[in-house]
Amino acid sequence: MARNSLTPQITENIIEYAKANGMGEGDRLPLQMLADAFRVSRAPIMGALKNLEAQGIVRSEPNRGFFLAVDAQVMDASKPIGSGDADGNEDVYFRMADDRLSGALPDKVSENELMRMYDLPRTRLLKILHRIADEGWIERLPGNGWAFTQALTSRKSYEDGYAFRAVIEQQAMLLPTFEPNPEGFKRARETQSNLRDGGYEAWSRAEIFKANNEFHEMLVACSQNEFFLDAIRRINRLRRLIEYRITIDRTRLPRQTNEHLHILDLIEDGRRNEAAAFLYTHILGAGRIKTPQA
Amino acid sequence: MARNSLTPQITENIIEYAKANGMGEGDRLPLQMLADAFRVSRAPIMGALKNLEAQGIVRSEPNRGFFLAVDAQVMDASKPIGSGDADGNEDVYFRMADDRLSGALPDKVSENELMRMYDLPRTRLLKILHRIADEGWIERLPGNGWAFTQALTSRKSYEDGYAFRAVIEQQAMLLPTFEPNPEGFKRARETQSNLRDGGYEAWSRAEIFKANNEFHEMLVACSQNEFFLDAIRRINRLRRLIEYRITIDRTRLPRQTNEHLHILDLIEDGRRNEAAAFLYTHILGAGRIKTPQA
DNA sequence: TTCGACCTTATATAACTATAAAATGCAATA
DNA sequence: TATTGCATTTTATAGTTATATAAGGTCGAA
Q: Is A61 exposed, middle or buried (0-12, 13-18, 19+ CB in 10 A)?
A: exposed
**pLDDT above 70 as % of chain B:** 93
Question: For the residues B269-290, what does the mean pLDDT come to?
Answer: 90
Q: What is the pLDDT of residue B252?
A: 83
- pLDDT greater at residue A57 or residue A3: A57
Position A198 pLDDT exceeds 90: no
Position A86 pLDDT exceeds 70: no
- pLDDT band of residue B294 (cuts 50, 70, 90) is very low
Give the helix/strand (H/E) hosting A260.
helix A253-268
CA distance A87 to B140: 14
Q: What is the pLDDT of residue A33?
A: 96
Which among A17, A153, A160, A165 is the top mutation candidate for probing chain B, defined by the most B β-carbons within 10 Å of its own β-carbon? Answer: A160
**Interface subset of A 30-49, CB within 8 angstroms of B:** 38-41, 44
Position B244 pLDDT exceeds 80: no
From B168's Cα to the closest Cα of chain A, the distance in A is 8
**pLDDT above 70 as % of chain A:** 92
**Interface subset of A 130-189, CB within 8 angstroms of B:** 130, 134, 136, 141-143, 147, 151, 157, 160-161, 163-164, 167-168, 171, 175, 177
Q: What is the pLDDT of residue B83?
A: 40
Give the helix/strand (H/E) hosting A155.
helix A155-174
- pLDDT greater at residue B223 or residue A196: B223
- CA B155, A38, A83, A186 dihedral sign is positive
Question: For the residues A239-251, what does the mean pLDDT come to?
Answer: 80
CA distance B235 to B150: 14
CA distance A59 to A66: 6
CB A136 within 8 A of CB A98: no
The residue of chain A nearest to residue B3, with distances taken between CA atoms, is A143
Which among B31, B162, B223, B226 is the top mutation candidate for probing chain A, defined by the most A β-carbons within 10 Å of its own β-carbon? Answer: B226
CA distance A184 to A52: 30
From B174's Cα to the closest Cα of chain A, the distance in A is 10
The residue of chain B nearest to residue A143, with distances taken between CA atoms, is B40
Strand D atom within 7 Å of A32 CB: no
pLDDT by residue (tens digit) across A175-195? 999 999 999 999 999 999 998
Q: What is the pLDDT of residue B1?
A: 62
CA distance A56 to A61: 14
Q: What is the pLDDT of residue A245?
A: 76
CB A39 within 8 A of CB A77: no
Three-state DSSP class for A14? helix
Q: Do the Cβ atoms of B9 and A142 come within 8 Å?
A: yes
Q: What is the pLDDT of residue A85?
A: 55
Q: What is the pLDDT of residue B87?
A: 67
CA distance B264 to B282: 13
CB A52 within 8 A of CB A91: no
Q: Do the Cβ atoms of B6 and A142 come within 8 Å?
A: yes
Strands (E) across chain A are located at: 58-61, 65-68, 108-109, 138-140, 146-148
Question: For the residues A238-266, what does the mean pLDDT come to?
Answer: 87
Q: Tell me, in Å, how far CA of B97 is from C1' of C19?
A: 33
Position B275 pLDDT exceeds 80: yes
- CA B67, B70, B73, B78 dihedral sign is negative
Mean pLDDT of chain B: 89
Three-state DSSP class for A21? coil
Q: What is the pLDDT of residue A292?
A: 45
pLDDT by residue (tens digit) across A100-110? 999 999 999 99
Q: What is the pLDDT of residue B84?
A: 46
Q: Least CB-CB distance to B225: which of A147, A160, A231?
A: A160
- pLDDT band of residue A47 (cuts 50, 70, 90) is very high
Q: What is the pLDDT of residue B290?
A: 54
CA distance B178 to B224: 6
Q: What is the pLDDT of residue A13?
A: 93
CA distance A16 to A224: 25
Q: What is the pLDDT of residue A91?
A: 85
pTM as predicted: 0.90
- pLDDT greater at residue A2 or residue A215: A215
Position A197 pLDDT exceeds 80: yes
* Residues 88-117 of A with CB within 7 A of strand D: 110-113
Which among A12, A167, A174, A230 is the top mutation candidate for probing chain B, defined by the most B β-carbons within 10 Å of its own β-carbon? Answer: A167
pLDDT by residue (tens digit) across B133-159? 989 999 999 999 999 999 888 999 999
Strand D atom within 7 Å of A7 CB: yes
Q: Is A2 exposed, middle or buried (0-12, 13-18, 19+ CB in 10 A)?
A: exposed
Instruction: Supply angle C-alpha A110, A111, A113, rounded to 5.
Output: 65
Question: For the residues B200-217, what does the mean pLDDT come to?
Answer: 88
Residues 6 or more apart from A276 whose CB is under 8 A from it? A170, A171, A173, A174
Contacts of A231 in chain B (CB under 8 A): 164, 231
CA distance A286 to A259: 11
Residues 6 or more apart from B184 whose CB is under 8 A from it? B218, B221, B222
- pLDDT greater at residue A252 or residue A256: A256
Residue A233 phi/psi, 5-degree rounding, is -60, -45
pLDDT by residue (tens digit) across B22-61? 899 999 999 999 999 999 999 999 999 999 999 999 999 9
**pLDDT above 90 as % of chain A:** 69
Q: Least CB-CB distance to B38: which of A142, A160, A235?
A: A142
Q: What is the pLDDT of residue A68?
A: 94
A108-109, strands of its sheet edge to edge: A108-109, A146-148, A138-140
Three-state DSSP class for A148? strand
Highest mean pLDDT among A14-23, A87-96, A274-283 belongs to: A274-283
Length of chain B measured in residues: 294
Residue B28 phi/psi, 5-degree rounding, is -80, 150
The residue of chain B nearest to residue A160, with distances taken between CA atoms, is B225
Bridge partners of A66, per DSSP, are A60
- pLDDT band of residue A294 (cuts 50, 70, 90) is very low
CB A57 within 8 A of CB A24: no
| Cα–Cα distances in angstroms (integers) from residue A252 to residues A257, A279, B191, in the given order | 9, 16, 51
CB B217 within 8 A of CB B236: yes
Position B251 pLDDT exceeds 50: yes
Q: Which residue, A65, A63, A74, A61, is CA-closest to A25? A: A74
The residue of chain B nearest to residue A108, with distances taken between CA atoms, is B39
Chain C bases near protein CB atoms (7 A cut-off): 2-7, 10-16, 18-25, 28-30
Q: Which residue, B152, B173, B141, is CA-closest to B263? A: B173
Residue B154 phi/psi, 5-degree rounding, is -95, 145
CA distance B2 to B4: 7
Q: What is the pLDDT of residue A83?
A: 39
